[in-house]
């Protein structure tokens, strides 16, 4: 039955493209509508833990994943001021041996491009850019999405994959209350040739400071250093993650951090430094209404404090395709999908908030392995979207 479906996907991010590719592999016709005028060089670094790499290896092939992502040779939590190693987080071959998949870090655009290429190889005309979602209507025969450029599309199902400020979620469930978490973030990309190689040792590191964190790792074959920096702030007005930040502002915020952090910030090209505020939304009690459901941040918008946002969207996409393929009809398929995913998505969403409180109340001078909580220690890496019951 699944092969007879036509699925409309709203949003061509990592989750939307994963769902599209997985559905295409199941024989489903998919039409993807993306608000951006073109798919291209957007975002910065992204961490994909073993629970997500299972899916990427399956859909793209391990050779492609190995080309667009890299496994850090070593990692550490460092003291914010001295740079001394507090906890080693070396993963390397252990992830593959323990979970059957690697721990990877990539430039989001490289991974996104690989997924888009694979989707287009299955159906060259299935991605429609420049289509900002406007509304949906449903009847007994199907569901229709209309877009602000006048385009409309009708299919059997609609999947809202349009991110943390999802217009599809709003169309299904109405406006929601959004509150500032008290955290702001910066991101930046620094060409490796602007840095002394000795500064970036080990490959991946996070600096634990009082109410602040600075994390960095290599992407794009080691030619770029991606960083994300977080700090507490009393108020913030803008949720956008593409507000340019002055380098001097970041330098002031982290002026007491180790010299290697100072060197990375100072080497940042001005056009590659951005800042954004982190906002809270309550978990949804239901993702599916009629022929429409949600996926990724549209379903479970989460803060980045477990580095699982992209991975949860990738998991969703694979499980959705498997659930529809296993079901007798689309109603059963959507029910199976939500039953398999909503509890996990909500759990990770809540635990990310808990981890934020833990991270920003820690004492760097008395930090050790017992203080270090991660997605792995919560058991998240052991999940395999290819085999979990649906």
> Could you confirm whether 381 is annotated as catalytic?
no
The answer to whether 13 and 311 are in contact (CB under 8 A) is no
Q: How is residue 289 annotated by DSSP?
A: B
Q: Tell me the torsion sign for CA atoms 12, 14, 16, 22.
A: positive
Coil vs helix vs strand at 213:
strand
Q: 3-state class of 113 per DSSP? A: helix
Give the span between the Cα atoms of 347 and 337, in whole angstroms. Answer: 16
Contact 123, 30 (CB under 8 A): yes
Whether the Cβ atoms of residue 365 and residue 192 lie closer than 8 Å to each other = no
**Cβ(289)–Cβ(309) under 8 Å?**
no
Nearest to 112 by CA among 93, 96, 133, 127: 127
What DSSP character marks residue 30? E
- Select which of 80, 183, 217, 337 is catalytic: 217
**How many angstroms separate the CA atoms of 325 and 293, rounded?**
16
Q: DSSP states of 136-201 as a string?
A: EEEETTEEEEEETTS-EEEESEEEE---TT-HHHHHHH-----EEEEEEEEEEEEEGGGS-GGGS-
**What are the Cα distances from residue 180, in Å, to 183, 266, 275, 302?**
8, 29, 14, 13
Integer angstrom CA distances of residue 144 from 34, 157, 165, 375: 15, 9, 21, 38
Residue 190 to residue 192: CA distance in whole angstroms: 6
Contact by Cβ (8 Å): 266, 251? yes
Catalytic residue set? 217
């Amino acid at each position: 039955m699944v092969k007879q479906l036509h699925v409309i996907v709203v949003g061509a991010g990592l989750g939307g493209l994963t769902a599209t590719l997985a559905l295409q592999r199941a024989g489903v016709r998919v039409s993807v509508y993306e608000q951006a005028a073109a798919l291209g060089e957007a975002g910065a670094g992204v961490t994909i833990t073993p629970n997500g790499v299972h899916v990427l290896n399956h859909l793209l092939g391990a050779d492609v994943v190995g080309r667009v992502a890299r496994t850090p040779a070593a990692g550490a939590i460092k003291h914010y001021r001295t740079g001394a190693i507090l906890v080693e987080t070396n993963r390397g071959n252990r992830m593959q041996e323990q979970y059957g998949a690697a721990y990877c870090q990539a430039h989001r655009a490289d991974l996104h491009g690989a997924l888009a290429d694979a989707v287009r190889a299955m159906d060259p005309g299935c991605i429609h850019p420049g289509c900002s979602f406007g509304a949906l209507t449903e009847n007994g025969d199907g569901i229709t999405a209309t877009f602000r450029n006048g385009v409309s599309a009708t299919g059997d199902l609609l999947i809202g994959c349009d991110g943390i400020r999802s217009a599809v979620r709003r169309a299904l469930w109405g406006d929601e209350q959004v509150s500032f978490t008290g955290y702001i973030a910066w991101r930046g990309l620094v060409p490796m040739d602007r840095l002394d190689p000795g500064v970036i040792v080990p490959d991946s590191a996070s600096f634990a400071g009082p109410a602040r964190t600075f994390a960095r790792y290599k992407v794009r074959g080691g030619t770029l250093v991606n960083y994300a920096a977080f700090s507490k702030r009393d108020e913030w007005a803008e949720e956008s993650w593409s507000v340019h930040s002055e380098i001097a502002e970041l330098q002031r915020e982290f002026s007491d951090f180790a010299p290697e952090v100072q060197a990375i910030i100072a080497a940042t090209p001005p056009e590659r430094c951005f800042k954004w505020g982190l906002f809270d939304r309550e978990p949804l009690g239901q993702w599916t209404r009629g022929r429409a459901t949600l996926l990724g941040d549209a379903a479970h918008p989460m803060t980045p404090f477990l580095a699982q946002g992209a991975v949860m969207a990738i998991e969703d996409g694979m499980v959705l395709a498997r659930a529809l393929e296993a079901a007798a009809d689309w109603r059963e398929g959507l029910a199976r999908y939500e039953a398999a995913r909503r509890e996990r998505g909500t759990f990770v969403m809540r635990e990310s908030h808990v981890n934020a409180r833990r991270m920003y109340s820690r004492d760097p001078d008395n930090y050790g392995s017992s203080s270090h909580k991660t997605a792995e220690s919560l058991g998240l890496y052991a999940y395999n979207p290819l085999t979990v019951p649906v």
